[in-house]
Amino acid sequence: MTPLQPQKKRSAGRPKENELLRELKVKTWFNAVAEASGKTAYELEKEFSPSYVDKGKFHKQRSRLWEKYRTGKVVPTMKETKGGRRPIALLVEEKYPGTLQWLTSPLWTLADPEAEITMDYLRTVYESFEPKMRALFIQEKPENRLFWRVPFSANKSLLEDIVSKESVTGFVGLLCLMRESVLLQEESFLRLIIQSLRKSKINVNAISNEIINLKKFVLKTFAK
């Protein structure tokens, strides 16, 4: 038997986020905020500008940070900064509920080929689904706590059911199945899931372009 070679140590810290996905994520968030508020980048920057900014001279003092959000070049803060300043993403969420989800959605991790996906991670995502959707993946009362998953399958009926939802959750479900098929080395299932991803839609007008671009990225990366 060939002796095993020592594995290289992983570098400490979180893996570097894919730049294209990060840009898409921020643009998706911005468009969701713009849709919810009905405001432009200029108006949003004025609304959420720090108290020390003179609103009367705003056009001269503005940092154009929201223009950078619009183009996905800068990620909005989600954690409290030094000095106790509250993160912009949470301030926006308080004013426009439902927008933060576009920064925290598992979409971006599942689509990243460099992200290390485990069954524990997939279980966490599956458990976040509403009951009917969750039941497609997780046993309600498993006989053995070690085997929580509904028997893995990428049958046509299941995939059509998920695609028909035309929802963010449905799209996330397909990405979960895609990553699970890779994890389990089920290439035939992966092909079926890729076909379903091609057909999938999300009825959220504000982010439609970003979702189309995300699909293109996923298909280019995984449909080889």
| Ordered per-residue pLDDT tens for the chain, 224 residues | 445 444 444 444 556 789 999 999 999 999 999 999 999 998 898 888 765 555 565 556 567 889 999 999 999 999 877 767 789 999 999 999 999 999 999 999 999 999 999 999 999 999 999 998 898 888 888 777 788 888 876 667 788 888 887 788 889 999 999 999 999 999 988 998 999 898 888 777 767 788 889 999 999 999 87
Q: How far apart are CA 165 and CA 145, in angstroms?
A: 30
Which of these three, 51, 83, 103, is where a domain ends? 103
Range of the domain at 206: 105-222
- Do 109 and 52 share a domain, yes or no? no
Residue 140 domain flag: yes
pLDDT at 34: 95
pTM: predicted TM-score of the whole model, two decimal places: 0.83
- Do 43 and 99 share a domain, yes or no? yes
Which of these three, 47, 74, 103, is where a domain ends? 103
pLDDT at 97: 96
What is the phi/psi pair of residue 149, to 5°? Answer: -80, 135
Which of these three, 103, 135, 168, is where a domain ends? 103
- Do 168 and 67 share a domain, yes or no? no
Residue 5 domain flag: no
pLDDT at 79: 86
24 Cα distance to chain centroid: 10
Name residue 131's amino acid: P
- Asked if 207 and 28 touch (Cβ cutoff 8 Å), the reply is yes
pLDDT at 9: 47
- Do 51 and 138 share a domain, yes or no? no
- Do 55 and 27 share a domain, yes or no? yes
Name residue 24's amino acid: L
- Do 91 and 124 share a domain, yes or no? no
What value does the CA radius of gyration of the chain take, rounded to a whole number of Å? 21
Strand, helix or coil for residue 153: coil
* DSSP output for 52-112: TS-GGGHHHH---HHHHHHTT-SPPP-SPPTTSPPPHHHHHHHHSTTSTHHHH-THHHHH-
Residue 7 domain flag: no
Task: Specify the number of domains making up the chain.
Answer: 2
Residue 2 domain flag: no
Q: How far is CA 151 from CA 111, 122, 147, 148, 155, in A?
A: 23, 14, 9, 9, 11
Residue 42 domain flag: yes
- Do 129 and 182 share a domain, yes or no? yes
- Asked if 156 and 210 touch (Cβ cutoff 8 Å), the reply is no
pLDDT at 100: 95
Q: How far apart are CA 221 and CA 163, in angstroms?
A: 20
Cα angle vertex 79, ends 78, 85, to 5°?
Answer: 110
Cα angle vertex 99, ends 26, 83, to 5°?
Answer: 75
- Do 99 and 111 share a domain, yes or no? no
